[in-house]
Chain A
Amino acid sequence: MNNSAVVNPVPSDAVVVDGVSMVFNEGQQNQVEALGSIDLVIRPGDFVSLIGPSGCGKSTLLRLIANLLDPTAGSVLVNGKSASQARVEQDYGMAFQQSGLFEWRNVQKNIELPLELKGWSKARRRERSAEMLELVKLSDFAAHMPWQLSGGMQQRVAIARALAAHPPLLLMDEPFGALDEMTREHMQAELLRICAAAETTVVFVTHSIPEAVYLSNRVVVMSPRPGRITEIIDVDLGDDRDEDSREDDEFYARITDVREALRGADRVAGARGIEDR
């Protein structure tokens, strides 16, 4: 366990968030101070989870890294570039709670969307989408329409789409939130396998403590109003975590750590919104 002290950032870092704060509707009556002075360094290959009570600014932080929002103060670097540069060069893929597939495109065409926008040739797109379909084990469903798939399958397509261009960074906002427990655990294992294969850095927003601990090598605990990082908890389940890791002592110990850190954060704000599943 270490506190949120800034580890000296180096140019090769995947994400450097430096003194970022975010105020919505500044100067107006409905002004919201969503994030207050966030420092966070994410190394290549890290799997970092953001956890905290509802409204503490997890999605906002993710959007700032994605350059879908501009910070009120501070700066964000992705792969040593400014966040906007990284967005233009499509250095990251994104996946949300809702799969957000285009209903008029079949599974394969959905996965190829980012490649199409990059101007890849048809042959090259076909090759890559076939590879991605294999990865998420949906090769038999290439020609299906999204609405013909189950929720978990749709989510896998969305992940395949996010990873199609082999981005070095994957940003995910509660991607498994809508899934049942069984599918969810299965998807977690799949995600670990996929990201290990592609050596992808992941920033993962979740409400579930076991999910955060199982997936991450670092869990970032946040508290609301304004959103801050209260604690960063290292998890050492090894690189080859599997279903058995869920029985591990380390797993339980870190769950307890995260829960206590969250209680601390909760006491500050009196907010709720964390599930124990």
Chain B
Amino acid sequence: MIRRGLRRAALFIVALALVAVTWELYVAFGPEDGGEVLGMRILPRASERAMPHTWEMGQRLFDPEVRGQDRPIWLAVTGYAWYTFRMALVGFLLGCTFGIALAVLMSRFRVVERGLLPYVVASQTVPLIALAPQVAALGGNWDLPKWTWVAALGAFLAFFPVSVATLKGLSSTSAASLELMDSYAASWWTTLTKLRFPAAMPYIIPGMKLGATAAVIGVIVSEVSTGVRGVGFASLTYAQKATSDPAQVYTAVFGAALLGLAMFGLVVGFELLVMRNRPAEGSS
């Protein structure tokens, strides 16, 4: 277990180093004003302004946010990321609760599934950037702090994968097990808690992994359009200063990436806890 953990950590560092090396190679040998592939301008400019050196980014972490301050930027970014993390976590938990409840309802009543599923799918194609200010404005009427609405928008993206995965999981209980519960004259609720739900866990957890990432994206995007000062908002303000301080925006990108990893890690921890006694994947 510990050895596997160490090996994973080592692999992670190797992967990180590879990314850095690729980055530097591109900065060194890439086209100075970007490039075209099949007539489309998609290759980024390899200029130092657009793609600062990795070591400059690293160094930048220890300089202050604005000239003259003592606080290094990594501390500031960590603060923003922590704020965003809390909103994303609330959003994720909210999304899981809602998504699972919805899936239970849909698996219980076929009518609900037929009636609701199209809307559930459609809900995910609503452009969140456009929606976020409206929702936040709406929130003003309700006298709730702005961050609750940002969290709600995170939940809005998180519930979907959780719901779809749970629905699939709840409907893939083996017929023999259901028959067994039937032979005990077990109620619908008992069958759900003792059989359907635990049996659905291997489906629900991957859905939660997607949901955790989706919550982070939802919160970051909503911050930008609502002005809640988390890591998403920070990346926007930093990006506006990109010409004079190109490395700064990447410190916010690191913050966001770290936060995404933390959310994902949380779900992995949950998985280890719940699945610790299950057969290893692949065997049965």
Give the one of B201, B277, B279, B283 with max A CB within 10 A: B277
- Which B residues are CB-close (under 8 A) to A114? 184
Listed by A's residue number, 9 A-B pairs whose Cβ atoms lie within 8 Å are A87-B185, A94-B179, A94-B180, A94-B183, A104-B277, A106-B277, A113-B194, A117-B190, A145-B278
Q: Which residue of A lies closest to B279 (CB)?
A: A147
In the complex, what distance in Å separates the CA atom of A253 from the CA atom of B195?
Answer: 46
A96-B176 in contact (CB<8A): yes
Give the one of B180, B182, B199, B277 with max A CB within 10 A: B180
B183-A68 in contact (CB<8A): yes
Partner of A92, one of B182, B183, B199: B183
Q: Which residue of B lies closest to A118 (CB)?
A: B184
Interface string of B36-59 (1 = CB under 8 A from A): 000000000000000000000000
In the assembled complex, the CB of B202 is this many whole angstroms from the nearest CB of chain A, namely 10
A102-B183 in contact (CB<8A): no
- Which A residues are CB-close (under 8 A) to B176? 96, 98, 100
- 5 closest A-B pairs by beta carbon, nearest first, are A147-B279, A88-B185, A104-B198, A100-B176, A117-B184
A212 located at the interface, meaning its Cβ lies under 8 Å from any Cβ of chain B in the complex: no
A82 located at the interface, meaning its Cβ lies under 8 Å from any Cβ of chain B in the complex: no
Number of inter-chain CB pairs below 8 Å: 47
In the complex, what distance in Å separates the CA atom of A117 from the CA atom of B185?
Answer: 9
B69 located at the interface, meaning its Cβ lies under 8 Å from any Cβ of chain A in the complex: no
Interface residues of A (CB under 8 A from B): 66, 68, 87-88, 90, 92, 94, 96, 98, 100, 102-104, 106, 113-114, 116-117, 145, 147
- Which B residues are CB-close (under 8 A) to A68? 179, 182-183
Interface string of B260-284 (1 = CB under 8 A from A): 0000000000000000011100011
Give the one of B179, B185, B190 with max A CB within 10 A: B185
Q: Which residue of A lies closest to B197 (CB)?
A: A104
In the complex, what distance in Å separates the CA atom of A54 from the CA atom of B183?
Answer: 24
- Which B residues are CB-close (under 8 A) to A96? 176
In the complex, what distance in Å separates the CA atom of A208 from the CA atom of B58?
Answer: 74
Q: Which residue of A lies closest to B177 (CB)?
A: A100
Q: Which of B82-136 contact A (CB under 8 A)?
A: none
Q: Which residue of A lies closest to B181 (CB)?
A: A117
Q: Is the interface of A mostly helix, strand, loop or mixed?
A: loop
- Which B residues are CB-close (under 8 A) to A90? 184-185
Partner of A147, one of B179, B184, B186, B284: B284
Q: Which residue of B lies closest to A93 (CB)?
A: B183
- Which B residues are CB-close (under 8 A) to A100? 174, 176-177, 180
In the assembled complex, the CB of A73 is this many whole angstroms from the nearest CB of chain B, namely 22
In the complex, what distance in Å separates the CA atom of A145 from the CA atom of B276?
Answer: 11
New A-B pairs, 15, CB < 8 Å, besides A103-B279, A117-B194, A145-B278: A68-B182, A87-B185, A94-B183, A96-B176, A98-B176, A100-B174, A100-B176, A102-B194, A102-B199, A104-B198, A104-B278, A113-B184, A117-B184, A117-B190, A147-B284
Q: Which residue of B lies closest to A161 (CB)?
A: B180
- Which A residues are CB-close (under 8 A) to B195? 102
B190-A104 in contact (CB<8A): no
- Which A residues are CB-close (under 8 A) to B179? 68, 94
Q: Which of B177-223 contact A (CB under 8 A)?
A: 177, 179-180, 182-186, 190, 194-195, 198-199, 201
Partner of B201, one of A87, A98, A104, A147: A104
Partner of B279, one of A92, A98, A102, A145: A145
- Which B residues are CB-close (under 8 A) to A104? 198-199, 201, 277-278
In the assembled complex, the CB of A162 is this many whole angstroms from the nearest CB of chain B, namely 9
In the assembled complex, the CB of B278 is this many whole angstroms from the nearest CB of chain A, namely 6
- Which B residues are CB-close (under 8 A) to A103? 278-279
Q: Which of B226-284 contact A (CB under 8 A)?
A: 277-279, 283-284
In the complex, what distance in Å separates the CA atom of A68 from the CA atom of B174?
Answer: 15
In the assembled complex, the CB of A109 is this many whole angstroms from the nearest CB of chain B, namely 10
A102-B277 in contact (CB<8A): no
Partner of B283, one of A94, A102, A147: A147
A102-B177 in contact (CB<8A): yes
Q: Which residue of B lies closest to A63 (CB)?
A: B179
Partner of A102, one of B184, B185, B186, B198: B198
- Which A residues are CB-close (under 8 A) to B198? 102, 104
Q: Which residue of A lies closest to B182 (CB)?
A: A68
Interface string of B157-191 (1 = CB under 8 A from A): 00000000000000000101101101111100010
